[in-house]
Structure 1
């Protein structure tokens, strides 16, 4: 079996530029070692860090750790994609619907609170979704997915049910923000890590399908909440969401299973921060997320300011997430052909331009068009994050930890971004909030572009 049989030339060029591959080349110059190809499956084998650093004297031990293969499909792989998409439907998809809660709390339940006060509920939720990944990623790599997914699914349903009986501001912070965010973060990271173990050549498309689950949640859940809350009470509306999650979450508890041996060693992997590509990528993602959630939270209230009905303002959230669905699937397919890192740079550029265009919107029609385009391109940005992260990780068994550490850092952006925008909105108006969002996105673009060109300095390289 030749190398060409297992990966195409573009993927081989990308793999050869990683720090791990360069170390293997240097090692081969002095000592003959295994070529890193699994003869049975014809897939790329990524060696373990310990194997790179030490070559045992016994020739039988020079084979290194068991081969790491990527089946690129099959029943178990696609069931893992389905289960992971459901996890994102119930975690990030639920957060994508927070704009509906923001408007309802502001106008009905928590009228004594300002926009930035209420934004803290959703921001804490986002912060814990990302921050929980700091621990969930390492637990996934070391002990497997179901150790996290099963208890987190149970407690997420409990969180939603308790939210349905909340009355005070601090109660919503604790139940919806903190408890809900921790559980959603514990579901989010394994969903991304598992899929990275099944796919290599099709990883962009597979990750796009998984992340599209959050878009689907962002479409269905706001409409469901908006319609039910007119026909029944707030409590029973939220309980209906809880029952929906209860009906869905048993599927990933069965289907989301890791396929690689568990990683041993330290809980975290500080060696990752010695890689400038990883550091710049994480920093760029931080700034992009710092500015990206402002439209998700404040487009509904901006719509009310333009004179749109409360019903239509809620449907804007669904329009945003509906267009985010193809925005998360199609770019993943394109990225597999033209390069995931290339697409990750393009997506925030267009997203940033759209945020600045928000300043010029002064009509309902203009806001609808802006919302649709923003939904598509922000979806692209979100779907490319895990795909690129899996690409730059030197060992597939460490994907969960690498993603988790990046998410833990990004949690601060999720925690503070929308409240800062909300405070600027309260004091100075929408122009200040939008400018903050657009400026953060611009810094993120610069950092992501720097990471891409350090990874491969060729302008037209497919990486």
Structure 2
């Protein structure tokens, strides 16, 4: 007589072939099949699940270090040096054009050159991000490097206002944007736990450019012609960008599907982050462009006003690295809120600065905290992307929208400065920062409603 707790092979086969068992097997097979349709795709209720909170697909791992990863950081930092670092030096061009080459133009006229450059840096990212995700880094970085050098060399022979707009503003901005977006997006292929720190090191390259390039421009302008001064920048870029072309290589498989990902805007946290970044960038560049001219108003020498640009960018170097390291420990979105709050306070404090010493102190503090704002945004953006292979597209779409802010922010401030004075320009900048920071706070609470959570 068989024991009640024993099951022979025939009984086991009967159980496995029962309708319930077959249904469970079919469900498992269907789930596995759907999971293989597209790596990293989140399947389920789109309205009830925050996609940004989903962990990366289990099959995707991140080195978070190693020789190749850090070489990518070096190459990306050089790309930032030559792109955003060059834009950070526009305050030198603003003062020089206003006082030497384009004396018949107003401050807001000249600001359009830098603003168009910033706008195309962000705007071209709209396409550069998707191209990077779909075809890789070198496809876009190599031609962008050639175009940037060509832009600088042609700028050296420009004489008329429209020529500077075309060469330095439009051509330079397109090339710099094509370098900027892949340099930021590729970090998400190699880093996860240390992403904010790595991103801070990359973006610090722009601070280094903002320190070295204004000093280089200031000293060469005193010793040689404008043409050879600018050509020297071009030769420097030739010597640096080949390193970027060699080292910046994607790691994850290329993304397939549509060129853009409009479904990303269904995520309220992403949409609010993009909107908040828009307003912040609308006001952030006013000090970069007009602190040198304000220094001249206070009686500083032309050379000292240029050095203020280097002070600003010099302090932004640790401002882009240290908060990134801290953000990996206390939360990237938490730090992303703290940095613009302090930056907004500093911009409003500018209204009370009436001495050269006070302006130097304000410039130093603003440099540190504005650097934090710029470096933390890509790290936060990468955090909410559901699939790392879509990172370039997500960042590119955000940068494309922010390009409108880069295009219009400084000219608006320049027009207010021309017609109403510095108080109006500073108030516009500070108000934009307040609106942008408020939107970031809402995005943070939607992402994680717990106030003291690491997010």
Q: Which residue of 1 is the match for residue 53 of structure 2?
A: none
1:31 Cα deviation after fit: 5.4
Name the counterpart of 2:411.
419
**C-alpha deviation, 1:49, in angstroms:** 1.7
Q: Deviations over 1:165-215 (max 9, x none)?
A: 000000000000000000000000000011111000000100000000000
**SS in structure 2 of the partner of residue 224 of structure 1:** helix
In the TM superposition, what is the alpha-carbon distance from 1:51 to its structure 2 partner?
6.2
For structure 1, the residue ranges without an aligned partner over 5 or more in a row are 1-29, 35-45, 54-63
Distance 2:449 2:363 in 1: 35
**Corresponding residue SS for 1:249:** helix
CA contact (8 A) 2:57 2:387 kept: no
SS in structure 2 opposite 1:357? helix
Matched, 1:161 2:145: no
Match of 1:147 among 139, 144, 148: 139
Aligned match of 1:382 in 374, 386, 389?
374
Deviation, structure 1 residue 67: 1.9
User: Matches of 2:173 and 2:426 in 1, distance apart?
Assistant: 25
Per the alignment, residue 306 of structure 2 pairs with 314
Deviation at 1:334, TM superposition (A): 0.2
Superposed counterparts of 1:293-372, under 5 Å: 293-372=285-364
Counterpart in the other structure of 1:27: none
The equivalent of 2:79 in structure 1 is 87
Do 2:121 and 2:175's aligned partners in 1 also have CA atoms closer than 8 Å?
Answer: yes
Alpha-carbon distance in 2 for matches of 1:196, 1:251 = 20
Larger Cα-atom Rg: 2
Structure 2 match to 1:58: none
* Separation in 2, partners of 1:305, 1:461: 46
| Count of aligned residue pairs for this structure pair | 413
Task: Tell me what 2:97 maps to.
Answer: 105
Q: What is the CA distance between 1:69 and its match in structure 2?
A: 1.0
Distance in 1 separating the partners of 2:271 and 2:288: 27
Matched residues in 2 for 1:48 and 1:192: separation? Answer: 20
Q: Secondary structure at the match of 1:365?
A: helix
Aligned ranges for residues 118-197 of structure 1 at < 5 Å?
A: 118-197=110-189
Aligned counterpart for 2:235 among listed residues 243, 252, 264: 243
Unaligned runs of 5+ in 2: 1-26, 33-37, 46-55
| Residues 31 and 462 (structure 1), Cα distance of their counterparts in 2 relative to 1, 3 Å cut | farther
* Matches of 1:429 and 1:65, distance apart in 2: 54
Partner of residue 446, structure 2: 454
Instruction: Tell me, in whole angstroms, the C-alpha distance in 1 between the residues paired with 2:453 and 2:42.
Output: 30
Cα distance per residue 1:147-179 (max 9 Å; x no partner): 000000011000000000000000000000000
Measured after TM superposition, the shift of residue 65 of structure 1 is: 8.3
Task: Find the counterpart in structure 1 of residue 40 from structure 2.
Answer: 48
Normalising by structure 1, report the TM-score: 0.88
Which whole-Å deviations, capped at 9, do the CAs of 1:332-375 have from their partners, x for residues lacking one?
A: 00000000000000000000000000000000000000000000
Q: Distance in 2 between matches of 1:92 and 1:218?
A: 8
With normalisation by structure 2, the TM-score equals 0.89
Matches within 5 A, 1:257-276: 257-276=249-268
Instruction: Give deviations 1:379-432, integer Å, cap 9, x for gaps.
Output: 000000100000000000000000000000000000000000000000000000
Aligned counterpart in structure 1 of residue 422 of structure 2, from 420, 426, 430? 430
For residues 125 and 28 of structure 2, what CA distance do their matches in structure 1 show?
Answer: 39
Partner of 1:49, secondary structure, is coil
Match among 186, 199, 210 for residue 202 of structure 2: 210
Question: Could you say which residue in structure 2 is the equivalent of 1:11?
Answer: none
Give the drift of 1:297.
0.1
Determine if the alignment matches structure 1 residue 68 to structure 2 residue 64.
no
Q: Quick one: distance in 2 between partners of 1:52 and 1:398?
A: 19
1:220 aligns with 2:223: no
Moved over 3 A (4+): 30-34, 50-53
| 1:48, distance to aligned residue in structure 2 (A) | 2.2
**Once superposed, what is the RMSD of the aligned Cα atoms?**
1.5
**Separation in 2 of the partners of 1:317 and 1:252?**
26
